[in-house]
Structure 1
């Protein structure tokens, strides 16, 4: 379930619009501006977007829409 803590209005645009969603996969490391470094543990295609579940090193598990979150693939 997606919770309101996962989204904020300041996170409404992702700079990753040029990222090929084929690169978003389980096991891939990402960096989020607020939550830090994490590992994708689930990735489900949702239309032109991807719903990802990420286990962040210091912030626990979060579910985010890839296009809405400030994520960088690392």
Structure 2
């Protein structure tokens, strides 16, 4: 497992700590969850763009339905 050091403004750090506390997780866990979410969104966008280049509208609509379902649950 890698260690990552980042520099962020003190105010943002305080807000992240408050959010982590609200979610009952550590700041480390919160950042891990947020980065996982960002990567999943990026992967979805890359997949969608690749599918759209192939011109498969049915598959594109299927992917959009999955994305909608995911965000409707959360």
Q: TM-score range by the shorter chain?
A: under 0.3
Normalized per residue, the structure richer in strand is 1
Greater helix percent: which structure?
2
Flag the structure with larger Rg. 2
Higher relative contact order, structure no. (Cα contacts within 8 Å, ≥ 6 residues apart)? 1
TM-score under structure 2 normalisation? 0.24
